[in-house]
Structure 1
C-alpha cells in the first residue's frame, strides 16, 4: 500500500492521523516500509498493524514512544513471533486483563462448550433456538460460538434471561447486513490484496461498532448511576 492508502485505512479509527504523522513514526523507527526503486514507500499489512498498535498505545494509554518502541522490539524477537496480537502495557509493565483468544479454526464438542462456558444443557438449547449460538456441524462449535456462550453465561449470572437477548441477536443481524454491503465488493474480487482489505475493513467495522455500542450504553446508564 502507498502512504495514502495506509492513511485511508487508519483514519476511520484515528481521525487525527496525517501523512506527516506517519512519516514521523517512520523516522522514529517504529515502522519501516520498503522503498521502490523510485523512492516511494510501500507498506505491508504488518506495517499497518504496527502503526495501529502505536496509535492505540498513544491514544488510549498515553505511552511514550520509547516504551512503545521497546514493546515492538520484544514482539519482533524470535521467541515472540507466535504471539497472535499486540497488547499495549503501561510503563510499569501492567497488562490490561482480557480474555485469551481462541484460534479461529478451533472446534469444540458440545460437552466442551458446556464445560468452558458454564451453561446448562437446557439453557444452551434455548440459546441455540434463538440463533445466538450456531453449531458449525452437528454437535460441534467454533471459537465464536464459545465466545457467545461465555458472554451469555455472564449476562445470565447478572439476572438477565435468554429471552432478553433476542434484541441483541436482531441488532447484530442488522449490523451484519449493513457491513456486508461495505465489504462484499472487495471480498468478491479475485485479487488477494482486495480480499485482505475486505478482511481488514471488517475488523475495523467490528471494532468501531463495539466502541459505539459501549459508549452508548455507558452514556445511557450515566443517569441511573448518578454520574
Structure 2
C-alpha cells in the first residue's frame, strides 16, 4: 500500500487536489479491478464526486475525492445500492451526519484506516467451492443443498463445485429451511426472479451490446439501479401483503 500512501500525501492535506484521473484509476484498481476512466467520469457527471479543474480543464482529485469514489464503488458492489441512495448518503456526509458503511473507508463514520472484521475464507475467495464446504459455509445440510440444485435455485460447474457468488442464495435458503420452508417450496422465488430479469434485460440489453465503453458504463449503472429497485418493490409488496394478514 506504499504507492497509495505516496499518492495521497500526508493526512493533513487530504483535501488538496493532487491526483490525475489516471492516477485515481491506478489507486482504485487495487480494490476495484473493473473500474474504468469512463466509470469515474460517469460518477462525476452524476454529481457524486467533485474534482477540481486546472486552467487547462484537467481533473485533479484529492484524497477525499478518492474516498468518496471508493465508498460509491463499494456500496454498488457489496450492497447493490442504486446511485440515488448512494448520493443521499454522501449528501448526509456533506451535512456532517454519520455515513453508513464507512468502516475502513477513510470517510467519516469510521476511523481512517480502521479495518472491519476479517472476511471468512469463502468471502475473500473467488471461484467455486466443493459441495461439502459450500454447504457448511451456507448452513445447509447435504440433502438441502441437493434439493436447491434439483429445484433450480443453485447451479454447479462441470466439477460439481458451487460458485462462491451463490452463497447469499444458499444462506437465504438455509434460513427459510429453519422456518420449515424447504427448497422445493422456493421455486416460486426462482420463477419470479427469472421474469424480473427478463423485463430488465429488455431495457438494457441493446445498450450493453454497444461498442462504446461510455454507453456500456451507463447501461451497467442502469442495470444496477433497476435490480435494486426491483428488490425494493418485491420487499415492499411482500411486507404489505403480510401486514394484511395481521389485520383483525
Structure 1 residues 72 and 110: CA distance shift in structure 2, 3 A:
closer
Q: 1:102 to 1:182 in 2, by over 3 A?
A: farther
* Match of residue 206, structure 2, among 182, 185, 202: 185
Aligned match of 2:69: 46
Q: What is the match of residue 222 of structure 2?
A: 201
Runs of 5+ consecutive residues of structure 1 not aligned to the other structure: 11-21, 26-30, 84-100
Q: Does 1:66 pair with 2:96?
A: yes
Output one character per residue of 1:110-163: Cα deviation in whole Å (capped at 9) or x when no partner: 111111112122221111111100124422222332111111010111111222
Deviation at 1:106, TM superposition (A): 3.5
Runs of at least 4 residues of structure 1 off by over 4 A? 36-45, 50-54, 68-74, 79-83
Structure 1 stretch displaced more, 105-114 or 209-218: 105-114
Specify the alignment match of 2:247 in structure 1. 226
**C-alpha separation between the residues in 2 aligned to 1:153 and 1:146?**
10
1:169: Cα distance to partner? 0.6
SS in 1 for 2:155: coil
Q: Structure 2 vs 1, CA of residues 187 and 154 (structure 1 numbering), >3 Å: closer, same or farther?
A: same
1:135 aligns with 2:153: no
Decide whether the 8 Å contact of 1:33 with 1:47 is kept in 2.
Answer: no
Cα distance change on mapping 1:137 and 1:201 into 2, 3 Å:
farther
Q: Is this contact kept in 1: 2:90–2:99, CA < 8 A?
A: no
Q: 1:109 to 1:81 in 2, by over 3 A?
A: farther
Aligned with 1:122 (options 128, 137, 143): 143
Deviation of the 1:64 alpha carbon: 6.8
- Which sections of structure 2, spanning at least 5 residues, go unmatched? 1-37, 74-82, 117-121
Change (3 A) 1:223 1:128: same
Report the aligned-residue RMSD: 4.4
> Given that residues 89 and 99 in structure 2 are in contact (C-alpha distance below 8 angstroms), is that contact kept between their aligned partners in structure 1?
no
Aligned residue for 2:123, secondary structure, equals coil
Answer yes or no: is the 8 Å Cα contact 1:131–1:169 preserved in 2.
yes
Distance in 1, Cα, partners of 2:100 & 2:228: 26
Q: Secondary structure at the match of 2:245?
A: helix
Counterpart for residue 33 of structure 1 = 51
Q: Distance in 1 between matches of 2:219 and 2:129?
A: 28
| Distance across 2 between alignment mates of 1:226 and 1:64 | 42
| CA contact 1:114–1:120 (8 Å) conserved in 2 | yes
Give aligned pairs, total.
189
Which structure carries more relative contact order (alpha carbon 8 Å, separation 6+)? 2
CA displacement at 1:207 relative to structure 2: 0.9
TM-score relative to the length of structure 2: 0.58
Structure 1: distance between partners of 2:174 and 2:102: 36
Does the 8 Å contact 1:104/1:142 carry over to 2? no
Task: Give the whole-Å Cα distance in 2 for the aligned partners of 1:190 and 1:158.
Answer: 48
Who is 1:153 aligned against? 174
